[in-house]
Structure 1
Amino acid sequence: MPVRNKVVAMLLAGGQGSRLKNMTSKMAKPAVPYGGKYRIIDFALSNSTNSGIRDIGILTQYKPFKLNEHIGIGSAWDYDRNIGGLRLLSPFMSEDGGRWYTGTANAIYENIDFIDQLGCEYVLILSGDHIYKMDYDLLLKYHKEKQSQATIAVIKVPIEDASRFGIVNTDENMKIVQFEEKPKQPKSNTASMGIYVFDWKVLRKGLVEDNLEEESEHDFGKNVLPKMLSRDIPMYAYVFDGYWKDVGTVRSYWQSNMDLLDKNNGLKLRDRNWKIFTQSRNLPPQYIHNNSVVENSLINEGCDIAGTVRNSVLFSNVKVEKGAEVIDSIIMSNCIVGKEAKLNRCIVVENITIEAEKSIGRADSDKVYLVAENEIIEE
């Protein structure tokens, strides 16, 4: 039996994403729109279905309505099936009481019964707030070939950014010899992607032990993984060399969307062999008026363009009126850019109308401007 048929994926999708400011005022970070068509969680879900993962649990918590509405029964990702499929797992009340998930490890611990009933051998832990394409089947095969009991997917990051991540040190065989969560003085630039494969028996024991630790923050990076390493559990690093972006700030979100406009970007959204699936809104085609200008941009369905759009990403149902200019910007769904308005290096959240002749942002600035209702944030 293929390894992927013995695994359940647990997708952590309850993050608040507070550094994204107004973009997460009404939704969890994994539900934030991305790339003119998608939501951030679509990448982990699409990777899962493309990798042949049959069972997936999605752990939600912070403002889940938009996320739950988007996911539905999982039909966009072929998870509305009789064998296997997708389950939404929210915090719940038990005989011991009820509370919010208190950490990434606690979220999995609270759903031990769900995993047990599936009878799986392996558990794949995923984060719902990163942009990347990965074949999880290759990761699972690597885990088995190495006879690993815990495998961490890692990526090389600039050394100046390394202190923002969990940092892994390995021997020549990629066996992990040290793991530090966000060290002040990192010893390497090999960073954890927040993607893990565990033998379920090993992880289950580790979660139960961690739950009994009163001082624990019940976090994989801070508590569970270092504890496993101290017990000499075989742990290996799996190196990923593709495009991966943690869109955790306004600036990184803007930059990742701008990356999509580079035809040589590593994400390759047009790759028909590894599609990114999402819910369709069933809107009419976009309409480009005479004398309008559209250059190097992603324009989703339902858009009405009478002005100028350059190097920008427009989500569905956006209207750019005559004389308006949208440059190096991201405009989310159901927005109107009024006549003669000028937007440069902006992110405009959903359902916003930019008044006629309004000017926001500057081409000669390195700042990004987040435009929300009654507020403009510079970053």
Structure 2
Amino acid sequence: MSKVLAVILAGGQGERLSLLSQKRAKPAVPFAGKYRIIDFALSNCVNSGITDVAVLTQYRPHSLHDHIGIGKPWDLDRQKGGIHLLQPYIGHLESDWYQGTADAVYQNLGFIMEEQCDYVLILAGDHIYRMDYSPMIAFHQQHGADVTLGAVIVPIEEGHRFGILETDASGKVVSFEEKPSQPRGTLGSMGIYVFNKDTLARVLLENAQAAGGADFGHNIIPTMVERSERVFAYPFAGYWQDVGTIQSYWEAHMALLDDKPAFDLYDPSWVIHTRSEERPPAHVRSAAKITSSLISHGCIIKGQVEHSVLSPGVIVEEGAVVRDSIILFDCVIKAGSTIDRAILDKEVEVGKDCQIGTGDDMTPNRLEPSRLNSGITLIGKRTCLPDHLKVGRNCKIGTDLRPEDFTTDTLASGETIEDRTFAHGWERERARSRENARS
């Protein structure tokens, strides 16, 4: 049996996720209550029989490293193969941060070449899907391909977010354009590639010698297509979602709440594994009311939860209402407050009788109009909101804020309260440095 090394690209900053990826790598962003986004790629690997996995990290990797650890939840804590966490480093040849997806793999080419593998499966760490990679690898072998791309049908209006490709009758890719302003088709690249190991090394070395670009989609794949190399597309018809924007992240969560969701978290034949803390069962109190929601372990529900996803440890107090929202780990919604169409990051505390996401004013966010324009309000990690605060739509409230940071009890739609922690921390660090210099 051919041996496969999976390489998961998990170093991206994910700016389009705004506050959610401000202090963590995008693959470490929580999803569906108890999971992290990277859990889906890792689970796909082990469920496909691939047990040699390298995860390339870079941007704010601490929570991602802590989550993956030695790979035990995915049965990847092995003496041979298993999980490998690889970061950029300064050495004799490698001396820079990853400049793109291809550069990230190129900087780890020494590790890849030392691995006893025939094929390298390159995956994005920020997509939600269930996929057995074995048929794709078999397709690659049967077609004698140099590289095989996973491909899905995407809406034409979303084509500018993807690599758009065209194929002939055999599945050979005859054109490829990364994120075109005017897409010519609807067949989009999933960011999944199967390379012959030697082919991968050759194209990366050639690209480096030619001082080419640093990305698979922008540089490597188009060049291979132009050279008429054997680039094939493997059609994938299952559920696949790029949750790289606030809107797509919210929509993917809401879709989980359908009576027959397109993505079934409860399929026993394809378990999504994760690192899960030991917490007590969720407790739904006698006055609580819950409809069409996902409630994780450790939650205490005394109020009302409608069409929402709650991560572990969330507390909804008496008279509070959570509607069409995503509430991450250990948030507290105090008595009498209403949360409507909002995303609350970890450990947010909402004061009493607050209204978060209120009114019909859909003014886009003044600072992030392209990211917050559909009525979703964001609140950053560990922020504590004062009692009686009223917040409109498309608002952004930063991280680590305290009640005294709010100078008014109303935040109009489209407005932002910035994260002051970084600035305060920077000033403290500068003062400490000056004091150390004096001493």
Q: Is residue 2:148 matched to residue 1:151?
A: yes
Q: More displaced, 205-214 or 23-32? A: 205-214
Which position in structure 2 is the counterpart of 1:213?
210
Amino acid of the structure 2 residue aligned with 1:61: Q
After the TM superposition, which segments of 4 or more aligned residues of structure 1 sit over 4 Å from their partners? 363-366
Partner residue of 1:368 out of 372, 376, 384: 376
Q: Which has the higher strand share?
A: 1
Larger Rg, first or second structure (1 or 2): 2
Partner residue of 1:138 out of 117, 135, 138: 135
- C-alpha distance in 1 between matches for 2:332 and 2:161: 37
Amino acid of the structure 1 residue aligned with 2:112: I
Q: Is residue 2:80 matched to residue 1:83?
A: yes
Q: Indicate the SS of the match to 2:67.
A: helix
C-alpha change, 1:73 and 1:363, in structure 2 (3 Å) is: farther
Shift of 1:363: 7.8
Q: Is residue 2:239 matched to residue 1:231?
A: no
Give runs of aligned pairs for residues 160-179 of structure 1, distance below 5 A: 160-179=157-176
- C-alpha distance in 1 between matches for 2:231 and 2:259: 37
Q: Is residue 2:361 matched to residue 1:353?
A: no
Amino acid of the structure 2 residue aligned with 1:270: Y
- Aligned residue pairs total 375
- C-alpha distance in 1 between matches for 2:260 and 2:127: 20
Q: Is residue 2:50 matched to residue 1:53?
A: yes
What's the TM-score, normalizing by structure 2? 0.83
Which position in structure 1 is the counterpart of 2:192?
195
Percent of aligned positions that are identical? 46
- C-alpha distance in 2 between matches for 1:97 and 1:176: 33
Q: Indicate the SS of the match to 2:251.
A: helix
Shift of 1:203: 1.2
Partner residue of 1:259 out of 255, 261, 270: 255
Which position in structure 2 is the counterpart of 1:299?
295
- Contact 1:152 1:194 (C-alpha < 8 Å) held by counterparts: yes
- Contact 1:12 1:60 (C-alpha < 8 Å) held by counterparts: yes
Q: Is residue 2:18 matched to residue 1:21?
A: yes
Partner residue of 1:328 out of 324, 328, 353: 324
Give runs of aligned pairs for residues 107-122 of structure 1, distance below 5 A: 107-122=104-119
- Contact 1:104 1:218 (C-alpha < 8 Å) held by counterparts: yes
- C-alpha distance in 2 between matches for 1:156 and 1:177: 17
Unaligned runs of 5+ in 1: none
Q: Is residue 2:352 matched to residue 1:344?
A: no
Shift of 1:12: 0.1
Output the aligned Cα RMSD: 1.4
Which position in structure 2 is the counterpart of 1:247?
243
Which position in structure 1 is the counterpart of 2:41?
44
- C-alpha distance in 2 between matches for 1:120 and 1:354: 51
Q: Indicate the SS of the match to 1:94.
A: coil
Amino acid of the structure 1 residue aligned with 2:283: Y
- C-alpha distance in 2 between matches for 1:63 and 1:237: 33
Shift of 1:26: 1.1
- C-alpha distance in 2 between matches for 1:73 and 1:327: 37
C-alpha change, 1:340 and 1:374, in structure 2 (3 Å) is: closer
Amino acid of the structure 1 residue aligned with 2:250: W
- C-alpha distance in 1 between matches for 2:93 and 2:229: 31
Q: Is residue 2:271 matched to residue 1:278?
A: no
What's the TM-score, normalizing by structure 1? 0.96
